Structure 1
Amino acid sequence: MYPLPNWRSPLRKDLERLTQEVLEAKEKLVGLRKGTLVDDAFERVGYLTAKNFKVLNYPRDPLVAFNPSAVVKDGRVFMFTRFIFDYYGYVSSIGLSTFELEKLENACCLNLSARLVIYPTTVHEVKRGAEDPRAHLYGDGFLVFYTAVGLKDGDLWPKQGVAVLDENGEVVEKSVLRLGDVFPPSWKNTTMIRPEGRGLVILTRPWIEGHEVIWRATVDAEEWVVDPSTMRVTLVPERFELKVGVSTTPVKIGSDEYLIGWHAIMKDDLSYRNGLAVVNGDGELLGISEYLLYPKYIEELYGDRPMVIYGCGLVKHKEYIYWIGGVADYGIGIYRAPLDKVMEHIKWLR
């Protein structure tokens, strides 16, 4: 599936250790989840499509708007949405919209202005642009991890893009993560748990010798390099899943407890399903749910990529958790559940 650049040699010993760690982790972690569908854990609030957005700094209208990330700052929701304006190259960009937190319940009725903030400007984005953001508050501004899709030997090469934005949403730094001194054949699904010194504790999913699992690691926030020695496995796919990935920015729910969303692709029907997990500040798994959100209605089943809910945004407001996610690669769904009810579905591991 992926090109195989000569990236192994500089990391030969590290890759041997990481591969062995994956195999050992699968022995311990496979079987944590049974694949149960928890019906109506989240209430459907409503849906947005590209028609809800007016892009201000680009002369075309988006065809689709999906897979948004969201953070709350000063009583406002800052939503980073993936836009596509064509079906010829299927090139993505990320736009920023903002609205009052109190209007989250009625967001599906809003007419939102958006400004493209992350779009192709480097060789890393030259093929498919910038996809699937995970946005975080960072200093006075924002930190956004996203999938930067370029080329390698004529094939797609997804790398883990990172953008630092100021308080006005202007990009002040753009880079891509490296593993040691090299780029893996594929790297996606990164979210920050917390800062640590000059670095960040992250959850992430690089391609490691055919394995795509969720790792906890530390990244240098000046050089954007992950030290392989800091990597430990947090979550692996179950036997009935093709892949599992971390989806959302964490929501802090305790002194050292963070609620995150994850997604899985099923082997039997290739649908995307979503669950929640609790990790500590080091990214260690404390508890996990079964599937709490999965495609069920026509808005989620039928689209450019059928049978998908891709829950990228997680927001706590009053007693509720709001899950904001892409539906079928064309639109956005907003889902709601009381936090105390959500926590009843967590299976605690420690």
Structure 2
Amino acid sequence: MEKNLLSKLKNHKMSVRKNKLVDVFKARYYISPEDLYVKNYIRTKPVAVFNPGAVIKAEKLFIFPRLIFDYYKYTSSVGVFSLDIEKIVKGGIDRPVETEIILWPKELWEFLGCEDARVSLHGDNLYMLYTGKGYYYGEGDELVRRDVLGFAEFNETYELKRKGYFRISDGKEEFLPVTTKDSAFIEVENNSATMLVRLEISDTLVCWRASADLESLTLNAESIEPVLLPENWEHKVGWSTNAVKLSDDEYLIGWHAVLKEDLSYKNGLALVDRDGRLKAISDYLLAPRGLNEEYGDRAMVIFGDGLILYDDKLLWVGGVSDYCIGIFVAKLEDVLKELKPCNEKGII
């Protein structure tokens, strides 16, 4: 399976973007670790809160941050809190922010942390994709590191109904890349889903599309196709956020790239169809600026994980340099005019 995926990758070389930043997210607000009060854990103040997923429901913005309480092992959990979205777009955040931990490491495959949630609502349930940072037993019964694409399903009161992680299957055998992460659902119908995933194939970190079975938690090997590759000035790319439906066959999603020159994370947006095929893409639209965004435990980062459409505004809810949350607000029309029509052969 890995050879087949590598063959698809080699046949997909194209350049669609420029090394250019158009800063459309003018309003920027922050939530720091000091702003949180964790109500269901003996330690009420995390040392870092970042890379959050987000959904909107009944005029409330629900944010699902990655929480860290120690720097020794950097072990992460996922929490949840809610804010009044109308206040946010006007620059107001009520503090302290009462937070509850809803997901933490329990399995070998997530032993080192539950990281970087992307969330979406499906009926009364919440689906969460996250990075399970952990181990598996290799040859000789040795522990080997691996990052997997975790899946958790919660009811409306955040009781965990089930969790596991995705594998790639061709119907006969299964395959797990070195890392699978930075992924999102496009459409979910019963136990079938179309997804955008980030796989590591032959040391290359690339954005792919795939169809998935949510009962068996498998990605269909035949359906997996590359969508977005690093440009020659980039080290890697990945999907950043959940997908936002704009029309019957148009979905907006954030992506990120790590630049070779300074290892900074810069972000843009892409428009895909219901199968994940690329319809339009931007150059960089969001990047760290100034002391609060450039300096942290991992410098020069704005990363993931939530994308929210509210009235005529687009909110990017992301992590800032691995220590705090940033809420970045742009006009939707300003974002859409930066999207360049393209297909899998390049810019149209």
TM bracket, shorter-chain basis: over 0.9
**Given the alignment of the two structures, is residue 291 of structure 1 paired with residue 274 of structure 2, yes or no?**
no
Counterparts in 2 of 1:171-186, with a 5 A limit? 171-180=160-169, 181-186=174-179
SS at structure 1 position matched to 2:163: strand
Within the candidate set 149, 154, 177, 1:160 is matched to 149
Within the candidate set 84, 106, 109, 1:124 is matched to 109
**Given the alignment of the two structures, is residue 250 of structure 1 paired with residue 222 of structure 2, yes or no?**
no
Quote the residue 2:5 is aligned against: 18
CA deviation after TM superposition for structure 1 residue 15, in Å: 2.2
Alignment check: 8 A CA contact 1:190 1:205 kept:
yes
1:233 counterpart letter in structure 2: P
> Once the two structures are aligned, what percentage of the paired residues are identical?
39
Give the unaligned 5+ runs of structure 1.
1-13
1:319 and 1:166 map into 2 onto residues whose CA distance is: 30
CA deviation after TM superposition for structure 1 residue 66, in Å: 0.5
2:261 counterpart letter in structure 1: D
1:6-63 Cα distance to aligned partner (Å, 9 max, x none): xxxxxxxx2222111101112xx3x20011111x311133111111211111111211
TM-score after normalising by structure 1? 0.92
**Given the alignment of the two structures, is residue 78 of structure 1 paired with residue 62 of structure 2, yes or no?**
yes
CA deviation after TM superposition for structure 1 residue 108, in Å: 4.0
1:21 and 1:182 map into 2 onto residues whose CA distance is: 16
Within the candidate set 50, 55, 71, 2:33 is matched to 50
CA deviation after TM superposition for structure 1 residue 295, in Å: 1.0
Alignment check: 8 A CA contact 2:147 2:180 kept:
yes
Deviates more, 1:98-107 or 1:182-191: 98-107
CA deviation after TM superposition for structure 1 residue 112, in Å: 1.4
Within the candidate set 312, 325, 328, 1:332 is matched to 325
Within the candidate set 75, 90, 115, 1:91 is matched to 75
Quote the residue 1:320 is aligned against: 313
SS at structure 2 position matched to 1:306: coil
1:213-253 Cα distance to aligned partner (Å, 9 max, x none): 11110110101011101111111111111110001111111
Alignment check: 8 A CA contact 2:87 2:93 kept:
no
CA deviation after TM superposition for structure 1 residue 114, in Å: 1.1
CA deviation after TM superposition for structure 1 residue 100, in Å: 2.6
Q: RMSD of the TM alignment (CA)?
A: 1.4
1:25 counterpart letter in structure 2: H
Give the unaligned 5+ runs of structure 2.
137-141, 344-348
Quote the residue 1:11 is aligned against: none
1:174 and 1:292 map into 2 onto residues whose CA distance is: 34
Quote the residue 2:205 is aligned against: 212
1:64-92 Cα distance to aligned partner (Å, 9 max, x none): 10011101122221111000000111100
Quote the residue 1:187 is aligned against: 180
Alignment check: 8 A CA contact 1:160 1:177 kept:
yes
Within the candidate set 293, 298, 317, 1:305 is matched to 298
1:336 and 1:214 map into 2 onto residues whose CA distance is: 25
Within the candidate set 209, 232, 256, 1:263 is matched to 256
Alignment check: 8 A CA contact 2:27 2:330 kept:
no
SS at structure 2 position matched to 1:278: strand
CA deviation after TM superposition for structure 1 residue 200, in Å: 0.8
Quote the residue 1:9 is aligned against: none
1:20 counterpart letter in structure 2: S
Q: Which runs of 4+ in 1 moved over 4 A?
A: 152-155
